[in-house]
Structure 1
Amino acid sequence: MGRILVCLLGTLALLHGVQAIGQDTCVTFTASRGAFAVVNSRRVAPILIAEDEWPGVQLAANDFAADIQRVTSVRPSLTNYTASARPSTPPIIVGTLGKSSLISQVVNNTQLDVSSIEGKWEAFTAKVVQNPLPGVASAYVIIGADKRGTIYALYDHSEQFGVSPWYWWADVPTTTRQNIFLIPSGCSHGEPSVKYRGIFLNDEQPALQNWAMEKFTNGTGSPFLNSPFNRYFYVKMFELILRLKGNYLWPAMWGSAFCVDDPLNQFLADRYGVVMGTSHQEPFMRSTPNEFNSSRGKWDYTTNTANINQYWLEGAERAKPFESIYTMGMRGFGDLPLSEETNIMLLESVIANQTQILQGMYGVQDVSAIPQVWTLYKEVEGYYDGGMRVPDYITLLWADDNWGNIRRFPTPDERDRSGGAGIYYHFDYVGDPRNYKWITTTQLEKVYQQMSIAIERKADRLWIVNVGDFKPYERKTEFFLSYGWNATRWTHANINSFVTQWAAREFDLTPERAEVVTGLVANLTRFNARRKHESLNSTTYSLVNYREAENVLADWARLEAASTSIYNSLSSAMKPAFFQLVHHPIIASNNVAKLLINAGKNNLHASQARYSTNQLADSVEEFFEKDYDIEVQYHSLLDGKWNHMMDQTHLGYYYWQQPMINTMPAVNRVSSRKQALAGAMRIVPEGNLGAWPGDNANQCAQGYNCGPPTVTIDNFSPIADRYFDVGAGGPAPFTFTATSNVTWLKLTPARGSISPKAPEQRVFASISDWSQLAAGSNFAQITFTATASEQPTLSVPAMFVAIKNSPSSGFKGFVEGTGVISIEAAHVSRKTIVQDISWTELPGLGRTVSAVTPLPVTDTAFEAGAGPLLEYDFYNFNTLQGRGNVTVIVYMTPTFNFNERTRPLTFSVQIDSFPAVKVQPIAMQAPGDLPAGWGGPDGYVANSIITTSTTFTGVSTGAHTLKIGAMEAGVAIQKIVINTGGLQRSYLGPPESISV
């Protein structure tokens, strides 16, 4: 992956032998003293369970037995224990504390200490126990504090045996073993970090719905809505959620109604052990608007109160027998505000009446034990900030901006509410400024950065993530649920070890090859997070400055080559999983990048009268057709198992909604038979939109009689040479030479041939020996001469300026190159610690290398310049227009003003002993609104960056120190650019400056 390979920080020892992620290991595959044999020489331990055990535990125990068979080809017996049928082999005893009579018997017989899990939520313990039952000398006993505790214990062991949670949903083969052993001390886990951890199936048309219709119905869906999301679909989903240590689901909602589409859906969710809810816009376990038809009147609480209350009562009565979380409040149909006239008093009356419904139905006055959630999404957050309050026991579900940036966290006085707080997050979205729902575009590092603040700010009662069609987001879904299960496992310093362990588990890779996959995944999501596919266009990346577009394509090419190497080395059984989870998003994204950038180059070359325009047009058409070929390749996997999963359109957006068909970007063609007016040869210098000879609007302000082009370089430019593209101006072939009037300038190649089949040649101009040059500006002329049959010789001059600069002796730091000092934020000269808070690197987060943020996250605030500092030593040879001014541009990860309204996010910028300048990157927004600059096709979220500019006056040339000061938690800075007069337009900013 070259210059941007992410540093891998995981502890690879965790990978050896065991396939689980982030778990304490209790499984081995070789015998050791005291180890319990699950399978040894094809002799398998029987599994014992009580008849009175939870049905969900019995289902998981059956999966557990099947998992042992997947690993060893030997299936254990699974029986209800009776004293008259004692096992001949030491058994595995499974059960739930306080539910299983078998576990009660074991605890009573052995006085087993279960205090570590007693009364705990979803905790479990497992260990070897001596004489657990009459006539049983020893057993491996798995005990859950509650039904999901037992279920998680079983699936935890299965994963360590080698069965991926994604064995069905991503076709991950199981690594087979002859034997499985458990260490005597076993495995255990306390209460999860987040109580409810779930996913939301949403925006499920066209991909998920079309796929489910084909795979789980006979072509006809439910009678009511023709929905394909029946029990056969959902039991697959329930099992996966539990294997991933999740416990909560918002079901598919567009054109579906969970409880109506299949009468067994709700029953089976509870039986498996999955808590059901409904989305932020669907109160009281009703699929609204799909269940609310015209016979009930208008969805208007001011005029149709009785009918709506009755509708909610029916939903609550239907949900009462099952474990559910009630969504409170009310929104309008179609995920819209309730009405323009909505006011706080009305919504407070809605929730008051909903409370009365619960009181009457459950026959209790105190409904605080019934889980309830109020989602503060979009305008609803404005109602809360405007003073609306709900009972203390209702969980406040804070939302992100639909793009992974959490809008608000609980303030100190909100953190002791009995109902707590949670987060509604997005990996997929339909809405302004653009949908994004094709393939993965979210960085794990971003998820961690945001959700770690949620943990610190006590938003830990309920987490739900919108996973769209679900399939493109497998890895991120697992991380989201895993982090909620145990937030202490993952830190900013080891986030990549999650992917490394994941790669080893899924693809049975060595630690070294798992590292390679971690690099693939990190760069895939980094490149895609820079700007989502749906918002990319042909000029997003600069086609002329800093070689940006070319570097983007080169990075993608390296990524695809590395992925292809891994893919080709895998067994045929492993390839489908790797294709779905890693290779497809890489090759599909690379193809889109080539498609769009070549379209941009095509349009540019057409304006420059270059014959290569036509080859570029051909390539755009080729990449456009290949996009569909890649889709077909995905749909053809495993005899079409995942047909339709890549149906989503993604090319040709012109407003927020998906295009009805993929559309190729516009391309131009030039005459294939007619010469350009200016002659056979076209000369295009680097960094210029113009072309010579002849007239071009981009040569100079007049667009004619502009004179020869000038190219400038200096000895501290991070790009060590400059180029000129020599191209055909028509079908006539020609030879060319490039000559210079100085000896210190090297031209490579100095001659070449141009023809219709090879219409371009790039000539690089570099300094052979900077020591030959005098200090300051050195001038050269380059002459390009074309010789074509039956045409006059054509010569085009170009000026080349080489500037030799020298910083003061002994200076150490970043040096200005071509009018810019560009610094990756993590590459500090020094940093300070104040009140145990320090700027800390978040490896991999952001568009180029990483980000830095003040850690630990606290409520501490600092005055400008008084907080922890980042210090960068730099040397400048110029100022803006020579007037003693420089501009400091800070590139920051999009982050909301998520503190109290009196404390917006801020940081300080300072040069030397100049006064520290307080910078507020984001304007305060009205409650429920987005801040200025946030939305739109080129807003902060579309660009995945916020930039701030601070100009300092009276800055001399020479050595200086830039200081960035922490003021509030949550600021994550990626890059700093100091403009001294040479900054050019680009998407990612100039490459990092040379440091001496």
Structure 2
Amino acid sequence: MVSSCRRWAYVTSVALGLLALTGGAFAIGQETCVAFKSGQSTFPIVSNRKATPILVSPDEWPGVQRAATDFASDIQQVTGIKPTLRNITTSNLQSLASLATNAIIVGTLGKSALIDEVVNRTKLDVSSIQGKWEAFLAKEVSNPLPGIKSAYVIVGADKRGTIFALYDHSEQFGVSPWYWWADAPTTKHSDIFVTSSGCSHGSPTVQYRAIFLNDEQPALQNWAMEKFTNGTGAALTGSPFNHFFYTKLFELILRLKGNHLWPAQWSSAFGVDDPQNQALADWYGIVMGTSHEEPMMRSIPVEWNLFGVGQWDYGTNQQFIYNFWVNGTERAKPYENMFTVGMRGNGQNIQLLEKVVSDQRQILMDVYNTSDVTHIPQVWTLYKEVEGYYDDGMRVPDDIALMWTDDNWGNIRRLPLPSERNRTGGAGVYYHIDYVGDPRDYKWITSSQIEKTYEQMSLAVARNAVRIWVLNVGDMKPYEMHTEFFLTLAWDADRWTPANINDFVVSWAQREFHVSQQDAVEVAALIHNVTRHNMRRKPELLNSTTYSLVNYREAETIMDEMNNMVAASTRLYNSLPVNAQAAFFEMVHHPIQATATLTNMWIAAGINNLRASQARLSANDYATQVENLFLHDAELEKNYHTLLDGKW
């Protein structure tokens, strides 16, 4: 661990880096178009206790309609004033005369008759977004509709473009994407304005930006069982991951500008556990997939154990497995998906696996009634032994995305060579910040650095592996900040450089905890140091001899720095307003305290062993320290579980 003077040198460098910030504290990685005082070229969202009404067309995408409801609620959370949200058709525009002279008009090009009417009447230039994936623009427009003198028009190129535009504004208003999942307080303002020139964003860097709920047992599963079910779970699987759980997650993903999900799968089956799961994912605007080991939208091994017949071996049980995949494809057909292809399992060989993919393509042709499946998103994940098949010569059709993977410890094993970068299906990356498997698990506490993630994923961008990125987040907590960083980088990689990635943490701390810039810089330093400490040796791999007890005062130095981090985090926690303390505890204070407790406990155990071998009575003192630290760890767990009346 660095010395105190080096730590504060790091803090100073972060502070200087703030000079390069392109957005405000509530616009992480975005252009700012929100103000809280009226200016010469501003449009009122809420002013003098009056909210501008929001207009949406009834033929708009359901997910946009729903996000517009969130948008109105977000404005109310910030200002205490809730704007009217109205469906307006082009046939009753005369009703606008009695509504207001100003309006916020929201919609999607080619889907919203209201937006198309505004574009036709005002000749609004939408060429910068038209036909582009998930792009949006927003700006003030004069006389857009009869009776409306001026409107702030929020236009998406497609349904998620519109949804992202709404949530982009909500975040700038003061609503954190983590308002529910990490209890981040909303920033209060009496007035909200937007600049007349508004905000805009082109297509994101990465087309499909996903998280993967994995290693979800026991923490996430037991918690969801208590909070979202009556304690029994789904009828066939016992899984608690129903639509009440997933709709919370869908909203979070969209607020973070993600668009894709690999659902929980240890003892769950997304399409079986709750018949509303798939329909609501599509309704919200989430593209669904399944993990690297779950072909054709079926949960493996859970669904195979329920419905399969015989062995999971295509060489000996082809027809039953084929029919199993047909069912999964038919079930998913009404919705937006990316199909995992290939097959993992014992006894596979290249010739058989190429037949597997060929047969899976035939299933897509039959179910979708088409001879051309190149327009159906598909991905083949080159994970562990599967990469070996590719290296040995196995190939899949050009339109299937190749997803390269890390080594489970944050080092991408391989990226596309120049000869592999012109595939129509593109390439992507499957990346871990949580892992269960050989040689050892790590899933307890935050132990990956965003600096490392930035370095590795920037290599992916440079080599055009930008079709799909999936982040294994385990049971998600306490990986909130890292999850957001990954999706933010995927949304717009060009905005981030080695010189400003720590500005992300500073802005994040200001948004989440409402701290001063100086305290936000200290939060960034704490997160940098605790994640570096845990990245150097994962907590699950610590033991009583990890740090030397006899050379260079290494163990003592580590203990001092752990204790200094706890002291700094405690000072910050105690200085926060009450409504920000829960979020700080979950995302900063608990990870630091838990890390320090575990590290100090192992070091004390090492000193106890050393002094016992020397027949020194002081060994007993260190035995007592270990016991006390063990009890302190239990107390931290209790504090977490009683937070906010037991929410977590």
Task: Report if TM-score (shorter chain) is over 0.5.
Answer: yes
Matched, 1:377 2:389: no
TM-score normalised over the length of structure 2: 0.97
Q: Which structure has the greater CA radius of gyration? A: 1
Partner of 2:598: 592
Partner of 2:18: 11
Distance 2:516 2:34 in 1: 18
Matched, 1:506 2:512: yes
Partner of 2:143: 131
Distance 2:172 2:431 in 1: 29
CA contact 1:15–1:511 (8 Å) conserved in 2: no
Partner of 2:94: 84
CA deviation map 1:952-996 (0-9, x unaligned): xxxxxxxxxxxxxxxxxxxxxxxxxxxxxxxxxxxxxxxxxxxxx
Alignment of 1:128-207 (within 5 A): 128-207=140-219
Matched, 1:491 2:503: no
Distance 2:494 2:467 in 1: 16
Distance 2:527 2:81 in 1: 35
Partner of 2:615: 609
Distance 2:301 2:457 in 1: 31
* Structure 1 position 62, deviation (Å): 0.3
Distance 2:76 2:438 in 1: 49
Distance 1:223 1:342 in 2: 33
Matched, 1:247 2:259: yes
CA contact 1:48–1:94 (8 Å) conserved in 2: yes
CA contact 1:12–1:497 (8 Å) conserved in 2: no
CA contact 1:436–1:534 (8 Å) conserved in 2: yes
Matched, 1:630 2:636: yes
Distance 1:375 1:398 in 2: 6
Partner of 1:583: 589
Partner of 2:370: 364
The one-letter amino acid of 1:32's match is G
Partner of 2:134: 122
For residue 546 of structure 2, give the secondary structure of its aligned residue in structure 1: coil
Distance 1:622 1:432 in 2: 32
The one-letter amino acid of 1:304's match is N
Alignment of 1:578-727 (within 5 A): 578-642=584-648
CA contact 1:20–1:162 (8 Å) conserved in 2: no
Partner of 1:437: 443
Q: 1:378 to 1:295 in 2, by over 3 A?
A: closer
Distance 2:552 2:592 in 1: 24
For residue 153 of structure 1, give the secondary structure of its aligned residue in structure 2: helix
Distance 2:372 2:229 in 1: 43
Distance 1:417 1:444 in 2: 29
CA contact 1:90–1:137 (8 Å) conserved in 2: yes
The one-letter amino acid of 2:54's match is I
Distance 2:376 2:252 in 1: 26
CA deviation map 1:336-360 (0-9, x unaligned): xx21x32100000000111111111
How many residues align? The count is 635
Distance 2:325 2:17 in 1: 49
The one-letter amino acid of 1:317's match is E
Q: 1:295 to 1:485 in 2, by over 3 A?
A: closer
The one-letter amino acid of 1:37's match is P
Matched, 1:393 2:403: no
CA contact 2:361–2:373 (8 Å) conserved in 1: yes
1:301 corresponds to which of 279, 302, 314:
314
Partner of 2:40: 33
Partner of 1:354: 360
The one-letter amino acid of 1:467's match is V
* Structure 1 position 16, deviation (Å): 8.2
The one-letter amino acid of 1:64's match is F
CA contact 2:427–2:466 (8 Å) conserved in 1: yes
The one-letter amino acid of 1:252's match is A
CA deviation map 1:734-768 (0-9, x unaligned): xxxxxxxxxxxxxxxxxxxxxxxxxxxxxxxxxxx
CA deviation map 1:474-523 (0-9, x unaligned): 00000000000000111111110000000000011121111111111111
Distance 1:14 1:175 in 2: 20
| Stretch deviating more after TM superposition (88-97 or 579-588) | 88-97
Unaligned runs of 5+ in 2: none
CA deviation map 1:924-960 (0-9, x unaligned): xxxxxxxxxxxxxxxxxxxxxxxxxxxxxxxxxxxxx
The one-letter amino acid of 2:569's match is S
For residue 365 of structure 2, give the secondary structure of its aligned residue in structure 1: helix
Partner of 1:312: 325
Partner of 2:285: 273
Distance 1:88 1:291 in 2: 54
CA contact 2:515–2:576 (8 Å) conserved in 1: no
For residue 17 of structure 2, give the secondary structure of its aligned residue in structure 1: coil
Alignment of 1:784-823 (within 5 A): none
Q: Kindly, what percent of the aligned residue pairs are identical?
A: 63
CA deviation map 1:518-537 (0-9, x unaligned): 11111110111110110000
Alignment of 1:919-934 (within 5 A): none
Partner of 2:422: 416
* Structure 1 position 12, deviation (Å): 5.0
CA deviation map 1:660-681 (0-9, x unaligned): xxxxxxxxxxxxxxxxxxxxxx
TM-score normalised over the length of structure 1: 0.63
CA contact 1:203–1:469 (8 Å) conserved in 2: yes
CA deviation map 1:55-89 (0-9, x unaligned): 00011000000000000000001101141321214
2:540 corresponds to which of 522, 534, 537:
534
For residue 605 of structure 2, give the secondary structure of its aligned residue in structure 1: helix
CA contact 2:7–2:525 (8 Å) conserved in 1: no
Partner of 2:121: 109
* Structure 1 position 302, deviation (Å): 1.0
Distance 2:328 2:632 in 1: 48
Unaligned runs of 5+ in 1: 332-337, 643-996
The one-letter amino acid of 2:87's match is N
Distance 1:85 1:43 in 2: 20
Q: 1:621 to 1:388 in 2, by over 3 A?
A: same
Which has more strand, going by share of residues? 1
Which has more helix, going by share of residues? 2
User: Which has the higher relative contact order, 1 or 2, with Cα contacts under 8 A spaced 6 or more apart?
Assistant: 2
Cα RMSD of the aligned pairs, angstroms, is 1.1
Distance 1:551 1:639 in 2: 38
Matched, 1:23 2:30: yes
Distance 1:564 1:10 in 2: 25
The one-letter amino acid of 1:236's match is K
* Structure 1 position 34, deviation (Å): 2.3
